[in-house]
Amino acid sequence: MQLLADQNAVVILEKTPIREDVLAEIFTASTLKLQMRNDIYSTYSLHAPPHLNEIKATVMCPATEKHVKKYQRKESFLVEETAQDYESITLPYIKKQSFSVQWVYNILDKKAESERILFEDPHPKLGFVLLPDFKWDQKQLDDLYLMAITHQRDIKSLRDLTSQHLPLLENILQKGQEAILKHYSLPASKMRIYLHYQPSYYHLHVHFTKLDFEAPGCRVERAHLLADVIQNLRSDPNYYKTRNLYFPLRADDGLLSQFKEAGRL
């Protein structure tokens, strides 16, 4: 890859799920090497033809030091953030440190990925763009992963949401579900629709993944179901402004050092 020669890059290599429609070809066109056999059990290394053995490659280049850190495996710690911690620790930190959201603006301004947009509601306050997350290669529905990005640019995360944002959140939930039903014939009962806290990018976005797919970041310590968020805001307009929120931070995350320095961990 010419691009990588003199720059830092993060390259993620992933074996994509095996699709049902290529199984017949895998069974007829591959070679098998027996590894072990015991009674009715045997294991093989199977060498499939190259076109059935694709590796998905995601490239970030040039990668900042923060990108490189984000993708290295590190131990995590669960942090409890009070409303006061958010104001005095998290907010100042994210204002200084957070990843650029230029890629998000490129999507909203149709300067990138416009051909991938599945659905758009252009309303400036209630609208959003729904498109595949770049973790999904769209070759099979098993790991379906879409993202709704709001047209409003001043909502950083879950923490900023109040009951004033209910029409926006309800719109994303309803129209997102309708678009997915129309395009992929997947009903709402097959979807996991949620926000991350903390997110990696501080521009409000909602994750749509297939329920059976254990997407990275869908665990309880990071994911907040959009339907729950809506209900919580209906019962308390300032729910997310006032509650303690919990989230994992990796050992090398600068925000973790800030919590440690403040004696909060």
3-state secondary structure of 174: helix
Helix H or strand E encompassing 91: helix 91-97
Q: Which of 56, 135, 153, 264 binds ligand G7M (CB under 6 A)?
A: 135
Closer of 119 and 201 to ligand G7M (Cβ): 201
Torsion on CA atoms 252, 73, 155, 97, rounded to nearest 10: 30
Compute the least distance from the CB of residue 134 to ligand G7M, in Å. 4
Total Cβ atoms within 10 A of residue 194:
21
Q: Which of 247, 253, 241 is nearest to 86 (CA)?
A: 241
Write each residue from 77 to 116 as x if it is in contact with ligand G7M (CB under 6 A), else as -, in one continuous string.
Answer: --------------------------x---------x---
Q: Say whether residue 134 binds ligand G7M (CB under 6 A).
A: yes
Q: Which of 179, 199, 226, 245 binds ligand G7M (CB under 6 A)?
A: 199
Phi, psi of 107 (to 5 degrees): -70, -50
Within residues 139-178, the interface with ligand G7M by CB under 6 A covers: 147
Closer of 64 and 200 to ligand G7M (Cβ): 200
**Which residue type does 227 have?**
A
Closer of 84 and 138 to ligand G7M (Cβ): 138
- Which stretch, 5-13, 193-201, 225-233, 240-248, contacts ligand G7M (CB under 6 A)? 193-201
Catalytic residue among 165, 196, 203, 205: 205
Q: Say whether residue 201 binds ligand G7M (CB under 6 A).
A: yes
- Which stretch, 85-93, 169-177, 195-203, 243-251, contacts ligand G7M (CB under 6 A)? 195-203
Contacts 24+ apart (CB under 8 A), 260-265: 262/85, 262/88, 262/89, 264/79, 264/80, 264/85, 264/89, 265/77, 265/79
Compute the least distance from the CB of residue 20 to ligand G7M, in Å. 25
Is 205 catalytic? The answer is yes
Closer of 25 and 142 to ligand G7M (Cβ): 142
- Tokens matching residue 97: 């440190």
Torsion on CA atoms 243, 239, 154, 249, rounded to nearest 10: 30
Q: Distance (Å, rounded) from C-alpha 81 to C-alpha 77?
A: 12
Q: Say whether residue 66 binds ligand G7M (CB under 6 A).
A: no
Catalytic residues, by residue number, are 205
Which residues contribute to the site for ligand G7M (CB under 6 A)?
103, 113, 131, 133-135, 147, 196, 199-201, 217
